[in-house]
Structures are given as C-alpha cells and as structure tokens.
Structure 1
Amino acid sequence: MEKIPLKTPSCALLKGFHPLTGLLRKLYTLIQNWIATQPKPALTATIIPSRIRFKDAVDYAKKVYHDEALLSAYQKLAAPGVHLFRLAISDALCGPHISDLFHLVRKGEDSLTIRIKATDNVAVAKVLFRFVGADGHLLEEGMGHGFGDRGWWIYTTRHSIDDLPDSLVTITAFDISGNKAIICKYF
C-alpha cells in the first residue's frame, strides 16, 4: 500500500479559497457581533474609587521618571529584574504599616524612648512623633531614627516624663510616595 503525502493548501488558505477559511471568518464575525450586543458591566461604587486610585498611582509612576531624586531613590531600592515603573505603582498603591509600639523609661534618665516597627512594601521614608498635651497644645515634635534592617524606628523625647503627663502621642509613618499610616496612644 502506497502512502499518499498530505498536501496543505497553504496558497489556497492564504488567498481565502479553502472552505475552512470562509467558515472561520464567518465564525469570527458571529462572535464579534455577539460581543458587541452584550451589555457592558456597570460601574459599581467599589470599582470607581479603585480605578481612580490606580490612575493616580500610574500618574505618580510617570512623575517618578521626571524627578531625579525620586528616580534615584527607587533605583537604590529596586531588586534586580524589578521594573521601576511597577515598583512606583506598587508603592503608591500600598501604604506603610505601624506595629509593635514600645515605650521605654531608662533608670536614671528622665526622657522617654519610644520604639516602633514601621514597614512598607518598598521602604518607609520617615517617621514623625508628635506629643500633644491634654489642653491641645503641641508639647514636642520630632523625627524618628531608623535602626536595624527590620523596620525599627526609635525616638527619644527632649522633655522629661513629668512634662508629658496625659499627653497624646501621634506617630505617623510616611513612605516615598507620600502614603502615611497613623497611630495614636495616650501616655
């Protein structure tokens, strides 16, 4: 028995003379017409703010490429193979997180030392400590100092503990894109 080689109708297929080509075109046209008649999904109250946040994040990522300071900051933090545009969008969409608040009083010292853990998906840029008295006046304000590689920040007050009775401390952590996390505690 002799094998008959199968011939592919490549020239006919390209010119549209093959019967399958016509059927595929008709099927494609039918699917496109069906898709056009389907109702578009309604924008819900949760979709609109998400789209606005993502648009703002994309705008921020575009701004990063035009600002040399921001661009160099992200280049220092980017892991190998991570695109800076995606990193900036991720940073803009995800804010920092504050946890593990400790206040320490050392023997022989009048100052108060506060230690917190502030983390972010990219990096925490700064942490601000504010002490407000019971009467609403600002008693002290200052920037925390990062130490270690695990997101720990520390602040030591300039006033003695006796000068900070019933004060409200507000700790605000900022990431590079400007997102912030706030935690408040009475001392």
Structure 2
Amino acid sequence: MAKVGDNMVTTGLSGKLGNLLVFRNRNGKTYVAKAPRERTGEPSEAQKQHQAKFQQAIIYGRGAIADPATKAAYQASAEGGQTAFNVAVADFFNAPHIDEVDVSNYTGQPGSFIRIRAVDDFNIAEVTVTIQNGDSSEVESGAAQPEDGMIWWRYTATANNESLEGDKIIIRVSDVPGNITEEEKGL
C-alpha cells in the first residue's frame, strides 16, 4: 500500500476508483492500494470459520475500546499507525505462550515454588497452577503471582505433597481476551 504525500488532488480522498485503486485515510494520511479482486463462488468451510472468528474479534475490539481503561492500555501498546482497536483485535487472535516451566525449586513442601515464563503479544491476565498426584487426584491449585517484568510467574506451594513420583503440573495461562494456553509437565 502506497502512502500519498501532501497532494492537493488526493489528500482526504477515500473509496474505490473503478476496479483499479482504493484510497484509505488513517491518522490524517491518505493511502492508495490496488483494488481487491472480486470474490467468486461460495466461501469454503475454513473461510467461513475464519470469518466467524474475525467477527468475534471485531466484537471484542469494540467492547475493549468502549472501556476507557482498557482502551488506554491497548493504545499504550499501539505502534506506528495502529489504534487501540487494532491492537485489541490482534490480541484476540494471539493466545499466550508458555516458554518455560521451572520445577527445580518444587520439593512438595509448603513454601517451595514453581516458576513459569509466559508471554503474550499484549498482557497475561492470569496464570494458574494445578498439581496432581499420579492417580490424577488434586494436591493443590491456585494462581501464580507475577515476578518483576510480568514474564516470570511464581506459584508457591501451600500443601504437603509426600510423593512426587508420577505427579504432574498443569499450567493454564490466559490473556485479556480470554485465550487460554495449557501445558502439562511431569515431575
């Protein structure tokens, strides 16, 4: 997409010119692009699913910018010509990632801890940890707390776990739009 400079003919122009060009305005600047191809035929099932997800993202974006605090947070993350709405829609499409689970400090005793490194394109809303015995019975579960910089999270054990053999840890990370990433790690 080309950006039009200070041109008295095209400045502020928006819309489609024949089947050749499309003019758009963003932040007081005019952009020109090749007109999109006309769609022919019925969309595939995958296209319909993507369109439905995009519609949900638009609804989420509108709701996010309707709340002044959420809009301000998204706007603070906007770069270049992005708006708070653009950042919110992109956040809807991107689930958080669990990069690392450090169990080296977990001994099964209260006060021992598990560290989780989780990242998201905007913000992590919550990290929860569930510790299960080998028979899938729950030892304990709760929210991890953010450490400096909000990349590392720490879950401090509160229950006594006698035997760690066959135990597993389930980590769930959610972001602001509610995307959830889950990972299991054996002890």
8 Å contact 1:96–1:175 — kept in the other structure?
yes
Give the structure 1 partner of residue 145 of structure 2: 145
User: What's the TM-score, normalizing by structure 2?
Assistant: 0.68
Secondary structure of the structure 1 residue equivalent to 2:45: coil
Aligned to 1:183: 183
Structure 1 gap ranges (5+): 1-27, 30-37
Contact conserved, 2:114 with 2:156, CA < 8 A, in 1?
yes
Bigger Cα Rg? 1
Pick the structure with more helix per residue. 1
Residue in structure 2 matched with residue 117 of structure 1 by the alignment: 117
Decide whether aligned partners of structure 1 residues 78 and 160 sit closer, same or farther in structure 2, where only a CA change above 3 A counts: farther
**In the TM superposition, what is the alpha-carbon distance from 1:178 to its structure 2 partner?**
0.6
Pair 151,73 (structure 1): closer, same or farther in 2 beyond 3 Å:
same
Structure-1 residue corresponding to 2:155: 155
- Structure 2 residue runs without a partner (length 5+): 1-17, 20-37
Instruction: Judge which range, 168-177 or 76-85, deviates more.
Output: 76-85
Give runs of aligned pairs for residues 121-140 of structure 1, distance below 5 A: 121-140=121-140
DSSP 3-state at the match of 1:126: strand
Please give the alpha-carbon distance, in whole angstroms, between the structure 1 residues aligned to 2:176 and 2:150.
17
Mapping 1:63-74, distance limit 5 Å: 63-74=63-74
Name the residue aligned to 1:85.
85
Larger relative strand fraction: 2
Structure 1 pair 97/106, CA: closer, same or farther in 2 (3 Å)? Answer: closer
Match of 1:182, as an amino acid? Answer: E
AA at the equivalent of 2:118: A
TM-score normalised to the size of structure 1?
0.68
RMSD: 2.9
| % identical equivalent positions | 24
Contact 2:75–2:83 (CA<8 Å) still a contact in 1?
Answer: no
Aligned residues: 151
Does the 8 A contact of 1:103 with 1:112 survive in 2? no
1:185 shift after superposition: 1.5
Describe the superposition over 1:37-85 as per-residue Cα deviations: whole angstroms up to 9, x where unpaired.
x871431122111111111000001111333453354345445764110
1:50 maps to a residue whose letter is: H
The residue that corresponds to 1:53 in the other structure is: 53
